[in-house]
Amino acid sequence: MNLKEKCVVVLSGGPDSATLAYWAKDQGYDVSGLTFNYGQIPMKEIEHAKKIATELDIPIQIIDLSSLKEIFKGVTSLVDENMQMTPAFSQPIIVPFRNAIFLSVAVAYANSINSTRILYGAQRSDAQFYPDCRKEFYKSFEKTARLGTDTQIIIDAPFSDIPKSEIIKLGTKLGVPYSLTWSCYLNKETHCGQCESCRNRKNAFIEAGINDPTKYLSQST
């Protein structure tokens, strides 16, 4: 591989994409981060994505798509404060076509910096809930992106077959500062410890047998 091949990593502020960025740099890529303000309630995600980029010493672009929350009002409690977090609170929160929107912007960004590789941090259990995290989707999207840019752009999710606990193990070896990542659906001072995303995070550390540096408001699972 060309040691200076550029790649764009979509950072969410969470542990999976942080691990991916560390992994990509370790693989020798010249990594550029990309993250999104899509009007999400956990705006902390953006700050945490920036922290990861700073730690890893990579540039990061923050794309303002905050007006998207207008079309997601009443659709997902991740952007609509008026929607109750329960009973959906215990379920993954689905923002329609979110990943596809992000990948579209990532393709445009990659093209503008002469990069032909986009990596994003979908992991194994995402495919179950998010159709636009499935391999058949992103490989189909890759074809569309190639047609739309006249390049041989590659869209890949290297962790898409790996459980979250294995990602944590890999990231620990790579020195990912997990205390700087954010998973919670809420925007409190610390992780709530109870939402689906917090529980997945906690369980991944437990399964990996790795000390979880996260401060949770509630320790119960």
Binding site for Zn ion (CB under 5 A): 184, 192, 195, 198
Nearest to Zn ion of 41, 60 (CB atom)? 41
CB 80 to Zn ion: min, Å = 17
Strand spans (E) along the chain: 6-10, 30-37, 60-64, 117-120, 154-156
Judged by beta carbon, residue 24 or residue 93, the one nearer Zn ion is 93
Distance CA 149, CA 151 (A): 5
Is the Cβ of residue 33 or residue 42 nearer to Zn ion in the bound state?
42
Among 149, 178, 187, 177, which Cα is nearest to 44's? 187
192 Cβ neighbours under 8 A, 6+ residues apart:
184, 185, 186, 198, 216, 217, 218
Q: Considering the complex, state which of residue 117 and residue 191 has its C-beta at the smaller distance from Zn ion.
A: 191
CB of 195 to Zn ion, least distance (A): 3
Cβ at position 184, least distance to Zn ion in Å: 3
**Closest distance between Zn ion and the C-beta of residue 221, in Å?**
11
